[in-house]
């Protein structure tokens, strides 16, 4: 009888040992399985933040420019010509579109038939110049030695008002881009008028 009891106890002990080993094996991770990285999950969560694109600089808006001191066929009135060209040297009437955010407007007149000979440069805070107005800058009326010349009136809307404008009243100037390269331009427009030697436009 004692032998039978010993056999039963031994059998139960062996079963308990095998059961404990099986539970331990189940608790251990499978070495063939790649562990899940908590760091990767955290990194993925942090990438959900949205980013905004950098605002690109806007191109200057196109402005409509009108010269009111012209004949019906676009010739500058003689009273706007230089005094020694039978004129009165009156600055022509010019108007243009206002531009949001502009602190000032630069106005140029270049004789593009004579290597950008400068005839007007002025700064104003309004969006027009009246014919014959006493401007803050300088105006020298057209006086072409011969033939018909093209006078381009440029108006530029500026972010800030400069103290001075570049340009010489002769043919040593570059084009309008070179004259205004140091200005922050919000808008730009132009119109061209004609004037010929000997004109008597009224």
Please give the pLDDT value at position 22.
Answer: 54
CATH code where residue 114 lies? 3.90.280.10
Give the H/E segment covering residue 185: strand 185-196
| Residue 4 forms part of a structural domain | no
Please give the pLDDT value at position 50.
Answer: 43
| Residue 43 forms part of a structural domain | no
36: which 2 tokens?
């899940």
| Residue 152 forms part of a structural domain | yes
Domain limits at 113? Answer: 61-196
| Residue 72 forms part of a structural domain | yes
Please give the pLDDT value at position 126.
Answer: 96
| Residue 47 forms part of a structural domain | no
Q: What is the dihedral of CA 176, 182, 185, 190, to 10 degrees?
A: -10
How crowded is residue 60: how many other Cβ atoms within 10 Å of its Cβ? Answer: 15
Tell me: the pLDDT tens digits for 8-24? 655 666 665 555 555 54
Please give the pLDDT value at position 11.
Answer: 62
| Residue 177 forms part of a structural domain | yes
| Residue 3 forms part of a structural domain | no
Under-50 pLDDT residues of the chain:
24, 26, 36, 38, 41-54, 56
Cβ-count burial of 196 within 10 angstroms (0-12 exposed, 13-18 middle, 19+ buried)? Answer: middle
How far apart CA 193 and CA 15 sit, in angstroms, is 112
User: How many domains does the chain fold into?
Assistant: 1
| Residue 179 forms part of a structural domain | yes
Any idea which residue has 């006078």 for tokens?
151
Please give the pLDDT value at position 47.
Answer: 45
Residues 6 or more apart whose CB falls under 8 angstroms from that of 138 comprise: 120, 121, 122, 169
């Amino acid at each position: 009888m004692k032998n039978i009891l010993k056999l039963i106890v031994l059998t139960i002990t062996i079963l308990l040992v095998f059961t404990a080993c099986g539970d331990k094996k189940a608790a251990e991770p499978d070495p063939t399985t790649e562990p899940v990285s908590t760091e990767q999950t955290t990194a993925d969560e942090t990438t959900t933040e949205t980013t905004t694109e950098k605002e690109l600089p806007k191109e200057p808006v196109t402005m409509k420019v009108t010269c009111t001191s012209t004949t019906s066929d676009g010739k500058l009135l003689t009273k706007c010509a230089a005094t020694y060209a039978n004129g009165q040297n009156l600055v022509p009437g010019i108007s243009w579109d206002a531009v949001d955010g502009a602190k000032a407007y630069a106005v140029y007149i270049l004789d593009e038939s004579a290597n950008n000979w400068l005839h007007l440069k002025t700064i104003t805070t309004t969006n027009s110049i009246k014919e014959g107005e006493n401007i803050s800058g300088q105006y020298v009326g057209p006086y072409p030695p011969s033939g018909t010349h093209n006078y381009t009136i440029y108006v530029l809307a500026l972010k800030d008002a400069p103290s001075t404008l570049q340009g010489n009243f002769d043919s040593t100037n570059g084009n309008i881009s070179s004259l205004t390269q140091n200005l922050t331009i919000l808008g730009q427009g132009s119109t061209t008028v004609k004037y010929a030697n000997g004109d008597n436009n009224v």
